[in-house]
Structure 1
Amino acid sequence: MKIIWAEQALTAEGWAKDVRLEIGTDGRIADIQTNQRPDGHKVGTLLPAPANSHSHAFQRAMAGLTESRGTNVTDSFWTWRQLMFRFLDALTPDQVEAIAALVQMEMLEAGFATNVEFHYLHHQPGGMPYDNLGEMAERIAAAAEISGIGLTLLPVHYQFGGCDQRPLGPGQIRFGNDAEQFARLVGEAREALETLPADSVLGVAPHSLRAVGQNVLRGAADLVPDGPVHLHLAEQLPEVEEVLANWHARPVEWALENLPIDSRWCLIHLTQMLPHETEALAKTGAVAGLCPLTEASLGDGIFDAVRWMDADGRISIGSDSNIRISLAEELRQLDTSQRLRDHSRAALATTEHSTGRRLLDAISAGGGQAAGRGSGRLEVGAWADLLALDTSHFDLAELQGDTQLDSFVFAGDNTMIADVWSAGRHMVQQGRHIHRDEITKAYRKAVKPLRDGL
């Protein structure tokens, strides 16, 4: 039994003072009591630690390397994608494991307790499967053993180069599987998770409407009946145009009409929706998986969070390309993008809750749902995914409750994170991951040949 005592904590019932929280040997919250004397590990402010609901770990090694422009093109998501394909064609399993461990470490240090890995790098350069079909899935799981993060692993089905079912291009062939091989890959991924603690989760991810056929999309949820289903949807204008031209409906319209979308689904980006699509999709109970820093970096567009949340839509936060892993900065980018678009302030606040409080509540619940994890709340029986703020930080000192959350979101960064637990594993202490030196050393070794080869 582990004991944490907090000066204040955001419990499922709201803010409470002098909170004593017990973590059971199973990694779940065993007891919460208020108005208790200091005991155990003492912290200032204790919060639920949300899940990072969308990540392509390997892209972390590209951070800062794609910011130049060619002389004859307008740079866009699509030109960036070609650079990404070229980069990943050199990655080895050892490098993927080292990069994933660093990403997971940085997620924990940023305040996330779970890595939901949208995992589509499956095969060798050239597209030949490894002798062990699940080799790369095993490397993501091995990284989680090192980092101690909670892992929701989403093997990605990627079969075609577009809605017309053209073959995959050279940069995509490491992703590709037909339906039969993908089903085997899902089985291998399930086995890879058996080495991890009981809080690990298997889901599935048809990549997008462009990358798999309609029948595969309709049956995707059946492959992992007890896990979450994630799908890229309505990210880019050319994607909308392609789906409309081939399937005679916009992506969200087609998905609403043809897919069994419910609370198991997490739909990623959704930056190209019309108002009626936003409102209808919000009513399904699915989670919008938002990645504001990456969406800004790639010029995707602005998710209509005001309309979505006013329709009781659920949201989660991911770091996607992992160019910068920061819970505070993702939330800040989400809210300020709404302000810029609408010429407003406090766009996502309500009369009941400030911006920071509303967003933290939303992504904690939505992230737990998207991860299929049963987390996101300080409540007996939930996984002990916990985040402690450093209340001695000059921007947080002497602040209380929602005002402190607002200061974290709008003035904060990772230096405000004091401790993070993932299913009771105390992986970040005094702002630093307990295996930081080991993980960063392996990462430096892994990326050097990649950068030398650019």
Structure 2
Amino acid sequence: MSQSVGSSSFFAKQALLPDGWHDNVRLSFDAQGFFTQVEPQGRPQPQDIRADIALPPLPSLHSHAFQRAMAGLTEARHHPSDSFWTWREQMYGLAARITPDTLRAIAARLYMDMLKAGFTQVAEFHYLHNAPDGAAYAQPAEMALSVIEGARQAGIGMTMLPTLYRHAGFGRPLAPEQKRFASTPDFIARILSDIAAQYPDHPAVRTGVALHSLRAVSDADMREMLRLAPQDCPIHIHIAEQVKEVEDCERALGRRPVAWLLDEMPVDARWCLVHATHLDAQETTRLARSGAVAGLCPITEANLGDGLFPLEKYIDAGGRFGIGSDSNVLLSTAEELRLLEYGQRLATQKRCQALPTGQTGSIGQFLYSQALAGGAQACGLGAAHPASPGAPVGPAAAGQLAVGQRADACILREDDLSLPGLKGDAVLDSAIFASPTLPVSDVLCHGAWVVRDGRHINEIHITAAFRHAIMALRS
């Protein structure tokens, strides 16, 4: 990609727009970082940056930033029946040592790597609230603000989800190793207030709330949190990730987790149900019809041995989904989508599963477009720039290369695809199924070119700070 420092326009040989693929697309954006012009069959201007293929970047709708500091360190068996629950003990050990400064450095490096992978928005499911001894910081939002500052250093869009975490299990008090997670609805509301004061109306910083899980939050606390949360903000929850969790929920609440949530809570398009791995047929249909997003994290779900989401039946019922990087053990937009599809192929012993029954077409295009729409919804990206006349309205344009939307773009290098001369949906099929990861050359986020020729603009500083933080943790 030829660069023109300071240019506020670029010209792509191919671009994926809300209504499909177009050739020779010229895109312009303003000083506030929003698209002002998207012109298919346009002509390049001398000041334009030149690009091969422009995509709307994907959001990661579920992330725990601090867990990046243990990536690759949990792949040795230390217990005869290793599982999610034994992995969790190693995670607690890491959580006990993180400081605000190390968290900022870890987050910045993680988000830099996300940008290089083609993500430009992240929903951070943040529950590392308190000091190592469990005491609240003088500013309750201390750790959340460290994560946001890491995001600002990297230049990624942030949806901060301070997380309510009250119990170790259904009705059980928190264990000592969970004391850093302890919170109340009022405490979470205070964090949201502190963030709003620090970042008033910042277009790249959004907020919502998270409820850790049914095992960690009671019915009464959940209702109080929803009462205190800003109206129409995203609401995320871990649910039905593990079989043991489903069994425990049935004993404690008399119903399966997703069934209980749909029965008792106002689940609608604001909600993202993270994992929802273990659904019965009725839950699958009801979740699809609720308008909520299923937050799928195939790499982490495979790494932790969670199981396979019933994607085929969920798609047939009209369900919405997006992808998240979760534990951040590996950052790859293509691998998340590829593993989602390949898991279904292995389970059904059939090919090309991620389409509604009876429909034909590109698996790559369907996965990418669905993950874009679901991720944008879960991250609260629905609003266009209010000062953009003629901008598309409604959720369909959210996160897209469209007038009034935030100026985000993921540029792929044509020569790095599996075959030359690919056009349209074949680009996505190649990039997802025939490349280790998306062949990203450049990334635009909120009107700033944060990745150029595969390198982040602040890579040296962010990498050095991350190395220092990790060495401090290990010592």
Please, what TM-score do these two structures have when normalized by structure 2?
0.92
User: Which of the residues 60, 64, 67 maps onto 1:52?
Assistant: 60
> Which amino acid is 2:295 matched to?
G
Residue identity in the other structure for 2:61: S
Matches within 5 A, 1:376-415: 376-414=399-437
Task: Confirm whether residue 330 of structure 1 aligns to residue 336 of structure 2.
Answer: yes
Rounded Cα–Cα distance in structure 2 between residues aligned with 1:314 and 1:430: 33
Say whether 1:449 aligns with 2:472. yes
For 1:292-307, what aligned pairs fall within 5 Å after superposition?
Answer: 292-307=298-313
Tell me the equivalent position of 1:356.
Answer: 364
Determine if the alignment matches structure 1 residue 129 to structure 2 residue 136: yes
CA distance in 2, matches of 1:192, 1:123: 19
Cα displacement (A) at 1:216? 2.2
* Contact 1:388–1:418 (CA under 8 A) maintained in structure 2: yes
Contact 2:431/2:437 (8 A) holds in 1: no
- Structure 1 residue 326 displacement after superposition: 0.6
C-alpha contact 1:100 1:140 (8 A) present in aligned 2: yes
Aligned counterparts of 2:254 and 2:99: Cα–Cα separation in 1 = 40
- Say whether residues 1:344 and 2:350 are aligned partners: yes
The residue number in structure 2 matching 1:139 is 146
Residue type of the alignment partner of 2:408:
D
Change (3 A) 1:415 1:301: closer
The answer as to 2:12 corresponding to 1:6 is yes
Letter in 1 for 2:284: T
Q: Provide the C-alpha distance between the structure 2 equivalents of 1:355 and 1:347, rounded to a whole number of angstroms.
A: 8
Secondary structure in 1 matching 2:176: coil
Q: Which moved more, 1:302-311 or 1:280-289?
A: 302-311
Query: d(CA) in 1 for partners of 2:289 and 2:106?
Result: 37
Say whether the 8 Å CA contact 2:299–2:325 is kept in structure 1: yes
Kindly provide the amino acid, as one letter, of the partner of residue 127 in structure 2. Y
Secondary structure of 1:392's counterpart equals helix
Superposed, which structure 2 residues align to 1:218-233 within 5 Å?
218-222=223-227, 223-233=229-239
1:106 partner letter: D
The answer to whether structure 1 residue 318 and structure 2 residue 363 are counterparts is no
Could you tell me which amino acid in structure 2 is paired with residue 52 of structure 1?
A: S
Q: Among 232, 237, 250, which residue is 2:256 paired with?
A: 250
Q: Are 1:282 and 1:312, in contact at CA under 8 Å, matched by a contact in 2? A: yes
Aligned length: 449
Greater shift after overlay, 46-55 or 418-427? Answer: 418-427
Q: Is the 8 A contact 1:8 1:46 kept in 2?
A: yes
1:83 is aligned, of 63, 79, 90, to 90
Alignment of 1:70-109 (within 5 A): 70-71=78-79, 73-109=80-116
Distance change >3 Å, CA 188–CA 345, structure 1 → 2: same
User: What's the counterpart of residue 456 of structure 2?
Assistant: 433
**Residue 421 (structure 1) aligned with residue 444 (structure 2):** yes
Q: Does 1:167 align with 2:190?
A: no
SS in 2 for 1:173: helix
Cα deviations by residue, 1:168-189 (Å, 9 ceiling, x for unpaired): 1122110101233232223223
Q: 1: distance between equivalents of 2:399 and 2:23?
A: 19
Question: Per-residue deviation at 1:79?
Answer: 0.3
CA distance, structure 2, for counterparts of residue 432 and residue 232 of structure 1:
33
Distance in 1 separating the partners of 2:234 and 2:333: 22
Tell me the amino acid that sits aligned with residue 27 of structure 1: G
Give unpaired runs (5+ residues) of structure 1.
none
Shift of 1:70: 2.3
Residue of structure 1 equivalent to 2:156? 149
> Quick check: 1:396–1:408 contact (8 Å CA) kept in 2?
no
Q: CA deviation at 1:415?
A: 6.2
Distance in structure 2 (CA, Å) of the matches to 1:418 and 1:352: 31
SS at match of 1:283: helix
- Say whether the 8 Å CA contact 1:415–1:431 is kept in structure 2: no
2: distance between equivalents of 1:221 and 1:45? 42
**Partner amino acid for 2:451?**
V
Q: CA RMSD in A?
A: 1.5
1:217 aligns with 2:251: no
Partners of 2:51 and 2:317 in 1: how far apart?
36
Shift of 1:219: 4.0
1:243-282 matches, within 5 Å, as 243-282=249-288
Instruction: Give the distance between the partners of 1:172 and 1:22, measured in 2 at CA.
Output: 48
Q: 1:219 to 1:153 in 2, by over 3 A?
A: same
Q: Deviation of residue 414 (structure 1)?
A: 4.1
Q: 1:268 to 1:136 in 2, by over 3 A?
A: same
Pairing partner for 2:44 from 28, 38, 41: 38
My pick for the range that moved more, 390-399 or 55-64, is: 390-399
TM-score where L is the length of structure 1: 0.96
Q: Deviations over 1:206-251 (max 9, x none)?
A: 1110111102223433312131010001101111111111111100
1:191 partnered with 2:200: no
**2:62 aligned partner, one-letter code:** H
User: Which residue is 2:207 aligned to?
Assistant: 202
Q: Is the 8 A contact 1:9 1:46 kept in 2?
A: yes
Provide the rounded CA distance (Å) in 2 between the counterparts of 1:396 and 1:313.
33
Q: Cα–Cα, structure 1 residues 54 and 192, in superposed 2: closer, same or farther, change >3 Å? A: farther
One-letter identity of the residue aligned with 1:64:
G
Q: Kindly indicate whether the alpha-carbon contact (under 8 Å) linking 1:199 and 1:373 is maintained by their aligned counterparts in 2.
A: no
Residues 137 and 192, structure 1, Cα contact 8 Å, conserved in 2 = no
Maintained 8 Å contact 1:141/1:193? no
CA shift, 1:161, in A, is 1.0
Give the distance between the partners of 1:23 and 1:183, measured in 2 at CA.
35
Range with bigger deviation, 219-228 or 62-71: 219-228
Query: Structure 1 residue 397: deviation in Å?
Result: 2.7
Q: Which moved more, 1:87-96 or 1:22-31?
A: 22-31
Instruction: Tell me, yes or no, if structure 1 residue 178 matches structure 2 residue 184.
Output: yes
Identity of aligned residues (%): 43
CA contact (8 A) 1:99 1:443 kept: yes
Letter in 2 for 1:216: D
